[in-house]
Each structure stands twice: as C-alpha cells, then as structure tokens.
Structure 1
C-alpha cells in the first residue's frame, strides 16, 4: 500500500481498526479490493461477509463435529507432552543438582578403592554363602511349601470335618513352634493354626449342642481331650453345659398353650433325653472309683451331681407352674407319669419321687379347698332361697322315725337328705370334691383335708344358725318342726356319712401304720382323718333334741375296700395308665343325691 492510499484510508476510516492491521498484507489487499468496488457492490459487501462468515462457522462446526475425537486426543497429547516436558525439565534440574555431588563422590570412591579392596573378599564370601542358602532353599522348595500351606490345609480339614488330620497338623505345628519359635514365618503359621483350632473347638461344642448319640459324644470328647484346651473338670462342665443347652432348646419347643399337654410332653422329653445325657456322661467320665482317682476327683463328681440336681429342680419348677395353671381332672395320670419318671431316674441314683408328693399334695389340697368353698357358697345361695313351706307333701313320711338309711360298712348317701334340697346339693358338691381328691390323695394330706372339711361344716352350721335367726319370728309350729328335722338330718345323716367318707379316703389302719401307733390311739393326734362332730354341732345345741352321747363309730376294718390303698399311696405306673378298677365311688350313682 502506497502512501497516498494509506493517507486516504486514514482519512476515511480514522480509528476504525487497530494499527497492527496495517502491516497485515491480507488486510491491505482487502482494502485495495474494496477501493476498486462500486457503490452497489460495497452495499452488498456486509451481507456477503456475514454470509461467508456463517458458512465458515458452519464448516468449522462440521469440522469440529467430524473430528472431535482428534481434537480430544490432540488436547490429551498436548497435556501429556506438557506434563512430560515438565518432568523432563525437573529431572534435568535434579540431575544438574546431583552431578557435582556425584563427581565429588566419584573422587571419594576412587580414593577409597584401595581400602575397599580388603572388604571386597569378605562381601564376596557373604554373597557366596547367601547363594548357597538360596540354592538350598530351592532344593527344599517342596518341603517349605508344605509348611507354608499348613494353615490352609488345617482350615480345610476343620471345615470338612477331618478332625483326626487336623489334630495331627496341630501337633506338628506345636513341635515346629518349640524348635523355631523365633522365626516370624513360624509365628504366623502358629497364629493361623490356632485360629483354625478355635473354629474346630466351636464345631465340636456345637455337635454336643445337637441331638448327638453316645458314639458321637465319645468321639467329640476324645477330640477335645486331644486338643488339651480344657482340664478334666472344665471338660465335664462344657459337656454338661452343651448337652443341657440342647435339652433346654427341646423343652422350649414344647407348646405352652395347654398346661397338661405341656407338662406331659416335658416329662416325656426330660425322661428320655435327660436319661440319655446321664448315660452318655457316665460312659464318658468314670466316677465309679473315687479312691483311685487323682486329687479333686470328688469335686469333679460333684459337678455332675450338681448339674443333675439343677435339672431336676428346673423340672420341679416347671411342674409346679403347670400344676398351678390347672391340669383338670387328669392329676392322677400326671402323677403316674411323674412317678414313673422319678422311678426311672432311681436307676442312675437320682430318684426325686420324694419331692413330687408335696407338689401334688398342695395342688390337690388347694383344689379340694376351692371345691369346699364353692359348696359353702352354693349352700348359702340355696338357704337364701329355701323355704320350709315349699316342702313336698311326702315330707311327712320323713318326719316319722325311720331306720337308718345306710347299712354298716357301706358308702351309700342317706336318702333322708332328699327331703332337704340344700343339704342334698351340699352333699353332692362335697362328694364331687372327694371324688376329685381321691385321684391324688396322699396320707400326708389327711390333717389338712380333715381341718378344711371341718371348717366348711362349721361354716354350714353358721349359715343354718343365721337362717334360723332370720326366719324364727315367722316360723309356724309345723315349720319349727321341719327346721328341727332339717338340723337333725344335718347332724344325724350328713355329718356321719361325711365322716365315713373321710375314713375311706384316709383309712385309720393305714394312718396308724404310718404313725406306728395302734388305731385306737389316733384320737390323740387331733383331727387326723376325723371330724370333731361335737364342735361342728355346738352352735345348734339349742335347736337339736337332746340325746345320749355316743362315741363316733369308726369304719370297720372289714368294711374298707381292699382297693383303698391306691387312693392314699399311688404306686408309680407307666405314663398314661390310671387304675380305674380301684375307684369306689363314695356317692350314689354319678350325681350323688338328686
């Protein structure tokens, strides 16, 4: 561009473009081209430039889209190259920094070469020794590999149940530890083997917590003894704990909805499994000769006896809990099963039948007392509704003197009580209580039963006296006679009959035999198997007609059925059996008096 053109452009465009463009040949050529264009072309030039600009942008986009991977790789390569150049530059800088020191050290090395020649031979010998050691290691590679694989092999044996091989490996590792305990690799092997041995111990104890039979228990205890992790006493405790835990899981699985079903299944499970555990223990741990055993053997035997006592105590607690929940009229069947359970344990020296009697006696006594209280309550309700006027016409026949309604030695309810419904219903309730009691009626309950019955009869007497006080002012002469007959029937018929029933439940001959005294001396023991009739009737003395006192008759020896022994001292029988043949009913028919 000449000076003239430049001056023209400067005058036209002035400051429209930077000064740096003036030196650009393309810019100068373009200005020359614009100077040669006409006005129309110059008017269209912005549109053409904009269109060309758009085309160039579009081409640029297409180029970037079609070659974007190239651009990305180019950028990555650029970045890597820049980073590599940086590292190269840093390395060169460090090299330049180290070269002077390197040269200095080389000079020092050259100075010390002669001194190092003396140590070279020593180092060479050490290298030779190391080479020989490496050669020896290579020659023993198989043996070394076997030692290093011991932990893995031990774990495999334990997980697959090869306990015999696992014990041999553990013994071999213990020998290695004694010889080479200072070597780190041996220490690692010992640690891993001990972990596998702990897993083996847990597996063996878990087998004892399952339904293991005697051969399995013998094998497991043999392995535990060879592992030598427990003393003899600890081994016994572990065995009993594991077997006891399995027995507890079996007992926990028994349904607890029905008390009778729960306790019967518990008795059966305890009788079978507990006996098996005791048999297994005695087969594995011998306590037959304590004199020949080492010191502390008696303490080891006490472990077993203490465990058996604990299991029996837990069973008795369960029995007592289910008995209190109520087992219905099946108390005799349950007693037979429990006695059979205790009898079977007598063969292993753990007879606990003596502890069963108080439990059943208490439950039977509580049920009897509850039945007596219910009978008193019903009698109170009947007396509240009772009226002497409502007696049937046939009652007149009962007012005449009649022969006793029972025969000596029999247990037939007196029919005279049918004329007095409250007394008849009361007797029926008492007889029902007697029939329930006779299913489980030990001689030890004689005094409590007698006192309970006497207290109930005194309560009945008080109810009769209260009835008389409430109705006396409204009595007619006939009603007064009927009430006297009512009281006489209570005194002459009901009380003697209940006294005879009590003597059937607790025969005087058997009571005297247990106490070791003659039957004629039983009266010295208070109300043992008898009722104090005079004390019961004392509140009615002002109503009852006076008569000559007679001694209370005892039931003749010949009149007691031979089967009565089963009522007072039930013999243990097999579970599920009840002695129904020896069940005399102390009431007429199945419902007593109607």
Structure 2
C-alpha cells in the first residue's frame, strides 16, 4: 500500500476512531512515530483488517522487509561506485561550500572599508581635478597674482626708503582689495603685512616730528598722516604737539645743569626760539577757524588743545625757572629778569604772555636772598660780639683813620665813619649794605614792607645781643669800658639805625610808595614798617643805657632830599636802583599795581636781553 492510499483512508476515519486508536496505542510507540503521517495511515489501515488478514500481516511485513533489503543490496552492489563518487562529491561540495562561505564572510567584512576607500578615492580625484583646474587658472594669471603677492615686500621697501607717496598708493590699493576679497586667506595675509608696514611708516613719520623738523617737513609729514587716516583731526593735533614737545624736551635736557644761571639762560633762549617755531608750525598746519558746515556729532574744541599745551609748556618753564632760582643765580637776578620779560613779551604775540607770573617768583627769590644775607650778617655780629672787648679800641682806630671832610663829596650818602670805632657794628653794616646792593638789582616796591620787617627783626635781635653782652660784662666794666659801651650803643642808635633807615627810603622812595597806595606822601609814615624802620621799637630796650635825649624825627619823605645829595657818576650807590626803569607787576596783597624798581628794564620787541650790568657797590666800612 502506497502512502497516498494510507492518507486517503486516514482521511475517511472520523475523529472518534482516531481518538480510540490513540487511546489503545498510547504507550506502545515512541512519541516521534505519532507525528509521522505514514504511521497514522498505517494504523488506520490495520484497523480495517479482519482477523485473518491481521494474522498474516506480520508475515507479509517480514517478506516485504526481506524483499526491500534484497533490492537495496542489489542496488548498492550494482551502483556502489556511484555511491562512493556521490559521497566524495558531497564531501567536496561540503568543503567547497565551507570555503565559499568563509570567503563570502571575509568579503562581507571588507566591503564597507572598500566602499569608504572608493568614496575617498572619488573625492580625492575630484579635489585633484579641481586643483588642477585651479593650477591651470593660476598659471594663466601668474603675472597678475605675482604683482599682488609682492605688494607687502614692495610696501616695506617703499617705507624703508622713504617713498611715502608710493606707499600710500599701495595701502589704498590693498584697502580696495580687502573690500572685494576679504574672505580670501591670501588677501588677509597681504592686508596684515601691509598694515605692519603702514605702522612702521607711521612711526617713522612721528619720529621725523620728534627731530629738528622745519615747517616744510612738518607740512609734508602731517599731509601723509592725514592721508593715512589713522587719527582724527583732534588726535592729529595732539600727536603733533606731543612729538614736537618730545623734541623740545630733548633740547632742554641737553643743557648742562652744573651752573644754575647758565642753565636757566640757555633754557630761556632755547624755549623762546623753539617754542615760537612750534607755534608758527602749528598755526601754519592747523586752522582754528570755524567750519562752514558744522558736523552733526559732538564738536571737539580743537583750539583748546593748543592752549592747554602752551599752558603746560609755560608751567614747565616756570617750574624750571623756580628750581634754578632756588639753587641760586648769584647777583645776576636783574639780567635774568630782563631775559624772562623778553621771553614773556615774545609769547604775548601768540596770546601766552606769562610776565605777570614772573613778578611773585622774582619777588620771593629777592626777599629770600635778602633775608638770608641779613641772617648771615646777624650771625656774624653775634660771633663778633662774643669775642669783642672794649679795651681802648676806639683810640687805636681813630688815631689811624683820617677824618673825611664833608665838603670833599657834598651830598653823598656815606656810611657813618663813627662806626669804624666799633668793629661788630661796622661789619654788620657792611654785610647789610652788601645785601642792599644785591637787592637793588631786582627790587620791586611790593617788597617794601617785607624788607623793612626783615631789617627791623634783625635790628631787634642786634639790640638783644647788645643787651646780652651788657648783662654778661656789666659787673666787670671799668669806668673807661662803661664809657666805651655807652659810645657803642650811641653809635648803634644815632648812626647805624638812622643810616639804614635812609637806605630803605632810597630803595623804596616814600613818594613812589605813596603814589602806588594812592595816599599823600605825608601819610606814608602812618603805615608801620613800610619803607621806614620803627626806631622806637628797635631802641626801646636800650633806653636805660642811651643818653637822655630825643631821637631826631624821621621826615615823611626824605627821598627827594637824599636824591639831590647823590652826585652823578660811578658813586651812585643805592640811588641807582631808584633811577632805573621799572617793570609793572601785580601786587600779591591786593589789586594795587606795584612798580618794580631795579636795573632790569622793560625790553621792547626789537631789543634783546643783555648780560649782567655792572653793579656799583655801596661804600663799605673798612
């Protein structure tokens, strides 16, 4: 029976028969047989057999099995070579399939990398193609590209050789290239190199302004700076003034500082000449006129820049002047004042007249010099008094000095010859007269009160020194020494103090002081310590020593009489200060103008300051 027949019969068996067969042969066969359709069909066929057929079924199966085995043997015997060959082929096929499978696996593993390499190759080939096309285009435009690439080198050459016109043209061309091709790295590199060369050119131009540049050079340099367009107009003015100021400082810094007078005179000359040149250059280059069309932005007061710079330079000069004056210029203060006044007069042409600031400075220096000289005279007097003795000194000196005839030099303001008998007083008066001679060279009337008070203080201290000497030596005085000491005090009170008072009135004439104060000359004496020593205050401590007699009154104005007593010629003495010309200055104590009397006269624009005028010294006591 064929399997198809089994299936046909099995299909005819109903569900109930199947369940019965399953329950009967449930444990008689392995599980895997039950799933075999041939086995189920065979069971269905067995269920349809009768008893006899079932009894013969084992025998039939045995015969059929033997027959199949026999056929199998015959088939194997007749076709064993084919079976062997088939087995060998199958084995080789299995081996080849394994090789193919492993090769396919390796191929699959390498395919992604191969694909990436192919894509990279394609991309590289495209880049090479594009590069080749670019190289071909570059080769065709080689000359033009070479000119552009060599611009930085050409710019540097022009700047270093001073060809600023060509350098500015190259810089303008590079700016146009930057606007068109700012994204190209080559153009960016060229722009950066050109900017470095432009910075070098800017430094060179500013360095030219820091040298001794004349007006044409300054005009050309400022023109280049304007075309470079790196500074605004206000910044350009500041740069110009800074550069010229640097050059001026180098000139002033090269002046030797060993001698204060030489240093300040050379500083005045260099500052006057070079500053005036800078002013001329600035006004020729920059215009301070109002623009016709004002800009919409905030206006910068450009004229204030120049004004501030001028004020700074004047302040620096005044500071240098004050420093050198403090160091000391000897007896040449009048010559120095004349040069400074001429300097200020030159600056007045450019609206920077600083002569009004000179008066307080010279006034202070003159007063300090006088005060120092008076203090030295006072110290010397105290030393002389410590070593002074009254033993017949007047007799010895008086016998050797000839008497001066009053008619030999009528009207001359001569120091009292009586002081020659008393060496400390004579030396003190000589030192004070030296201070007066130094003061008269530069003697503003504004110092009248200060000089008078300084001299009064010194005379008060002289009085105290005399009293100390009296207290120390009084008990040991002999009658002769007491008489000599009384003569000493009388010479101090009746000769030296009135003579110093007359000297003050010659230096500061009461008529001139009254004119400045706006009062009658007869009222000047009411102002304490104003050109007239307060003799009562000075001599009051010596009243118990001095002879009992009234002091001669001091007239309100003796300057006219004193001046008529002064003969012309080389013996002018202190009156030379009065007769010299004057320079108006401003009084620090008020708004009253103060006349400066001294040997330094006002210098006109056509005059030039001269060196020290020779001072005729006051006659000294020997």
Structure 1 length as normaliser, TM-score? Answer: 0.72
Q: Is the 8 A contact 1:405 1:416 kept in 2?
A: no
2:233 aligned with 1:203, yes or no? no
2:588 aligned with 1:563, yes or no? no
Residue of structure 2 equivalent to 1:527: 529
Q: Is the 8 A contact 1:395 1:419 kept in 2?
A: yes
1:229 Cα deviation after fit? 0.5
1:292 Cα deviation after fit? 7.9
Q: Give, in whole Å, the separation in 2 of the partners of 1:542 and 1:414.
A: 24
Residue of structure 1 equivalent to 2:329: 327
1:444 Cα deviation after fit? 2.0
Q: Give, in whole Å, the separation in 1 of the partners of 2:447 and 2:474.
A: 40
Indicate how the Cα distance of structure 1 residues 404 and 538 shifts in structure 2: closer, same or farther if over 3 A, else same: farther
SS in 1 for 2:434: helix
Map 1:407-426; keep pairs closer than 5 Å: 410-426=412-428
Note the alpha carbon deviations across 1:381-420, whole angstroms, 9 max, x for none.
222222222224378899xxx9999999642112222222
Indicate how the Cα distance of structure 1 residues 101 and 314 shifts in structure 2: closer, same or farther if over 3 A, else same: farther
1:453 Cα deviation after fit? 0.5
Indicate how the Cα distance of structure 1 residues 547 and 336 shifts in structure 2: closer, same or farther if over 3 A, else same: same
1:129 Cα deviation after fit? 13
Indicate how the Cα distance of structure 1 residues 293 and 302 shifts in structure 2: closer, same or farther if over 3 A, else same: farther
Larger Rg over CA atoms: 2
Indicate how the Cα distance of structure 1 residues 196 and 457 shifts in structure 2: closer, same or farther if over 3 A, else same: same
2:244 aligned with 1:238, yes or no? no
Q: 1 or 2, which has the higher helix percentage? A: 1
Q: Give, in whole Å, the separation in 2 of the partners of 1:519 and 1:579.
A: 32
Q: Is the 8 A contact 1:368 1:433 kept in 2?
A: yes
Residue of structure 1 equivalent to 2:376: 374
Residue of structure 2 equivalent to 1:495: 497
Which deviates the most, 483-492 or 215-224? 483-492
Indicate how the Cα distance of structure 1 residues 324 and 308 shifts in structure 2: closer, same or farther if over 3 A, else same: same
SS in 2 for 1:393: helix
Q: Is the 8 A contact 2:505 2:559 kept in 1?
A: no
1:171 Cα deviation after fit? 1.1
Q: Give, in whole Å, the separation in 2 of the partners of 1:138 and 1:342.
A: 72
2:607 aligned with 1:578, yes or no? no
2:314 to 305, 312, 315: 312
1:162 Cα deviation after fit? 0.6
Note the alpha carbon deviations across 1:182-234, whole angstroms, 9 max, x for none.
22222222111111111111111111111111111111111111111011111
Residue of structure 1 equivalent to 2:45: none
Map 1:125-140; keep pairs closer than 5 Å: 137-140=138-141
SS in 1 for 2:160: helix
Map 1:2-151; keep pairs closer than 5 Å: 137-151=138-152
1:456 Cα deviation after fit? 0.4
Structure 2 length as normaliser, TM-score? Answer: 0.69
Note the alpha carbon deviations across 1:58-113, whole angstroms, 9 max, x for none.
xxxxxxxxxxxxxxxxxxxxxxxxxxxxxxxxxxxxxxxxx9899979x999x99x
Q: Is the 8 A contact 1:405 1:414 kept in 2?
A: no
Q: Is the 8 A contact 2:182 2:188 kept in 1?
A: yes
Residue of structure 1 equivalent to 2:214: 213
Indicate how the Cα distance of structure 1 residues 455 and 104 shifts in structure 2: closer, same or farther if over 3 A, else same: closer
1:492 Cα deviation after fit? 1.4
Q: Give, in whole Å, the separation in 1 of the partners of 2:559 and 2:409.
A: 12
1:550 Cα deviation after fit? 4.2
Map 1:431-580; keep pairs closer than 5 Å: 431-553=433-555, 554-557=557-560, 559-560=562-563, 561=575, 563-565=579-581, 568-569=597-598, 570-573=600-603, 574-580=608-614
Q: Give, in whole Å, the separation in 2 of the partners of 1:291 and 1:563.
A: 56
1:536 Cα deviation after fit? 0.4
Q: Give, in whole Å, the separation in 1 of the partners of 2:408 and 2:364.
A: 33
Q: Is the 8 A contact 2:335 2:613 kept in 1?
A: no
Q: Give, in whole Å, the separation in 2 of the partners of 1:395 and 1:409.
A: 26
